[in-house]
Chains A and B, each alone.
Chain A
Amino acid sequence: MKTSSQVVGAATMAALFLVGSAWAQNAPGEDPVILTKRISVQMAPIGGARPSSPLESMNNMPAWMKAKVARYEAKANADQTNGISTDEDATRSASSDGFKKTCIQEVGSTTVASAAPGARQNGLSTNQQIVVLKGDLVNICK
Chain B
Amino acid sequence: MKPSIGLAPVRSRLSSLALVLGLAGAVLLAGCATPADPRDDAKFQSYASATNRPVVRPVRSVSSFSDSLMCMDYLFREAEISTTLITSKQIPDFSTRVPVATKDMIITALSQMSRLSNAFRYVDYEVDIARQDTVQNLTTILLNNNQIQLQRPALYFSGAIAFVDQNVINNRFEVGTAASRLDTGYSKNRNATIIGLELHIGDFRSRTLIPGLDSANEVIIASGGQGLDLAGRIGNYGVQFNVGRDYAQGAGAAIRTLVELATIELVGKWARVPYWQCLTLEQTHPDFQRQLRDWYDQGSPLLHNKLVQRSLISHGYLGPNGTQLEENSPEFRTALGRFQADAGMVVSGRVDFPTYERALRHFVSLGKDGKLVQIGWSSSSDSPLANAADYQRPGGTSPYGPSAYGSAAPPRKISLQIENVLVGRSAFEVGEQIFLSASLSRASYLYCFLHEAGGKVMRLLPNATNPNALLSASQAIRIPDWMSPTPGFIMDATSTGTERAGCFATDADVAGKLPQLLQAPALVPLRQTTSLEDINKAFAGSLGADGYTFAGVQWQVGPRRAAAPAAAAAPPAAAR
Which of chain B's residues have a CB closer than 8 A to the CB of A9?
464-465, 486
- A19-B487, A29-B83, A31-B85 are contacts. A66–B450 as well, Cβ < 8 Å? no
Asked if A57 lies at the interface with its beta carbon under 8 angstroms from chain B, I say yes
- A1-B557, A24-B433, A63-B227 are contacts. A29–B90 as well, Cβ < 8 Å? no
0 or 1 for each of A10-41: is its CB under 8 Å from B? (1 = yes) = 11000111011011111111111101001101
Query: Are B127 and A43 in touch, CB under 8 angstroms?
Result: yes
0 or 1 for each of B222-259: is its CB under 8 Å from A? (1 = yes) = 11011111111100001110111110110100000000
Partner of B144, one of A1, A38, A42: A38
Query: Are B575 and A29 in touch, CB under 8 angstroms?
Result: yes
> Which of A3, A4, A26, A39 counts the most chain B CB atoms within 10 A?
A3
Nearest CB in chain B: distance from A83 CB, A? 10
Partner of B420, one of A28, A35, A41, A120: A28
Partner of A74, one of B83, B176, B222: B176
Query: Are B186 and A70 in touch, CB under 8 angstroms?
Result: yes
Q: Please, how many angstroms separate the alpha-carbon atoms of A17 and B463 in the complex?
A: 22
Asked if B509 lies at the interface with its beta carbon under 8 angstroms from chain A, I say no
Q: Please, how many angstroms separate the alpha-carbon atoms of A59 and B169 in the complex?
A: 12
What are 6 A-to-B residue pairs whose CB atoms are below 8 Å?
A: A19-B486, A63-B246, A64-B243, A70-B176, A71-B178, A71-B185
Partner of A66, one of B127, B167, B227, B494: B227
Asked if A139 lies at the interface with its beta carbon under 8 angstroms from chain B, I say no
Asked if B183 lies at the interface with its beta carbon under 8 angstroms from chain A, I say yes
Nearest CB in chain B: distance from A80 CB, A? 6
Query: Are A124 and B488 in touch, CB under 8 angstroms?
Result: no
Which of chain B's residues have a CB closer than 8 A to the CB of A15?
485-486
- A43-B127, A58-B248, A78-B178 are contacts. A50–B490 as well, Cβ < 8 Å? no
Asked if B97 lies at the interface with its beta carbon under 8 angstroms from chain A, I say yes
Asked if A121 lies at the interface with its beta carbon under 8 angstroms from chain B, I say yes
A-B residue pairs, 8 tightest by C-beta: A29-B83, A64-B244, A71-B185, A74-B176, A1-B452, A63-B225, A123-B240, A64-B227
Q: Please, how many angstroms separate the alpha-carbon atoms of A132 and B183 in the complex?
A: 15
Query: Are A45 and B128 in touch, CB under 8 angstroms?
Result: yes
Nearest CB in chain B: distance from A117 CB, A? 15
Query: Are B492 and A28 in touch, CB under 8 angstroms?
Result: no
Asked if A98 lies at the interface with its beta carbon under 8 angstroms from chain B, I say no
Asked if B121 lies at the interface with its beta carbon under 8 angstroms from chain A, I say yes
Q: Please, how many angstroms separate the alpha-carbon atoms of A75 and B183 in the complex?
A: 7
Q: Which of A83-142 contact B (CB under 8 A)?
A: 120-124
Q: Which of A48-71 contact B (CB under 8 A)?
A: 48-55, 57-60, 62-71
The total of chain A residues at the interface (CB under 8 A) is 72
Query: Are A26 and B572 in touch, CB under 8 angstroms?
Result: yes
Asked if B569 lies at the interface with its beta carbon under 8 angstroms from chain A, I say no
Query: Are A31 and B490 in touch, CB under 8 angstroms?
Result: no
Query: Are A29 and B227 in touch, CB under 8 angstroms?
Result: no
Known contacts A28-B419, A59-B167, then 11 further A-B pairs from the complex at CB < 8 Å, ordered by chain A residue: A7-B486, A20-B148, A33-B150, A52-B99, A57-B191, A71-B178, A71-B230, A72-B176, A74-B176, A122-B183, A124-B231
Q: Please, how many angstroms separate the alpha-carbon atoms of A68 and B183 in the complex?
A: 10
Which of chain A's residues have a CB closer than 8 A to the CB of B226?
63
Q: Please, how many angstroms separate the alpha-carbon atoms of A121 and B227 in the complex?
A: 22
Closest to B245 in A: A63
Q: Please, how many angstroms separate the alpha-carbon atoms of A39 and B186 in the complex?
A: 68
Binding site for A on B (CB under 8 A): 82-85, 90, 92-93, 95-100, 118, 121, 127-130, 140, 143-144, 146-152, 154, 164, 166-167, 172, 174-189, 191, 193, 221-223, 225-233, 238-240, 242-246, 248-249, 251, 419-421, 431-435, 450, 452-454, 458, 460, 463-465, 482-483, 485-495, 499, 523, 557, 572-575
Query: Are B82 and A28 in touch, CB under 8 angstroms?
Result: yes
Binding site for B on A (CB under 8 A): 1-11, 15-17, 19-20, 22-33, 35, 38-39, 41-46, 48-55, 57-60, 62-78, 80, 120-124
Which of chain A's residues have a CB closer than 8 A to the CB of B175?
70, 74
Query: Are A67 and B186 in touch, CB under 8 angstroms?
Result: yes
Query: Are A41 and B453 in touch, CB under 8 angstroms?
Result: no
Query: Are A5 and B489 in touch, CB under 8 angstroms?
Result: yes
Which of chain A's residues have a CB closer than 8 A to the CB of B127?
41-43
Q: Please, how many angstroms separate the alpha-carbon atoms of A124 and B90 in the complex?
A: 54
Q: Please, how many angstroms separate the alpha-carbon atoms of A67 and B249 in the complex?
A: 22
- A32-B152, A121-B233 are contacts. A5–B488 as well, Cβ < 8 Å? yes
Query: Are B419 and A70 in touch, CB under 8 angstroms?
Result: no
Q: Please, how many angstroms separate the alpha-carbon atoms of A99 and B444 in the complex?
A: 96
Q: Please, how many angstroms separate the alpha-carbon atoms of A27 and B186 in the complex?
A: 67
- A3-B450, A25-B432, A75-B176 are contacts. A57–B221 as well, Cβ < 8 Å? yes
- A57-B223, A63-B188, A70-B187 are contacts. A121–B238 as well, Cβ < 8 Å? yes
Query: Are A68 and B185 in touch, CB under 8 angstroms?
Result: yes
Which of chain A's residues have a CB closer than 8 A to the CB of B179?
78
Nearest CB in chain A: distance from B459 CB, A? 10
Partner of A29, one of B118, B223, B432: B118
Which of chain A's residues have a CB closer than 8 A to the CB of B95?
52
Query: Are B419 and A69 in touch, CB under 8 angstroms?
Result: no
Q: Please, how many angstroms separate the alpha-carbon atoms of A7 and B233 in the complex?
A: 83
Nearest CB in chain A: distance from B106 CB, A? 16
- A3-B450, A26-B573, A74-B183 are contacts. A45–B129 as well, Cβ < 8 Å? yes
Query: Are B98 and A55 in touch, CB under 8 angstroms?
Result: yes
Query: Are A57 and B92 in touch, CB under 8 angstroms?
Result: no
Query: Are B490 and A7 in touch, CB under 8 angstroms?
Result: yes
Query: Are A120 and B238 in touch, CB under 8 angstroms?
Result: yes
Query: Are A54 and B229 in touch, CB under 8 angstroms?
Result: no
Q: Please, how many angstroms separate the alpha-carbon atoms of A70 and B435 in the complex?
A: 72
Q: Please, how many angstroms separate the alpha-carbon atoms of A58 and B243 in the complex?
A: 17
Partner of A8, one of B181, B432, B464: B464
Query: Are A70 and B229 in touch, CB under 8 angstroms?
Result: yes
Which of chain B's residues have a CB closer than 8 A to the CB of A52?
93, 95-100
Which of chain A's residues have a CB closer than 8 A to the CB of B492?
1-2, 4, 24
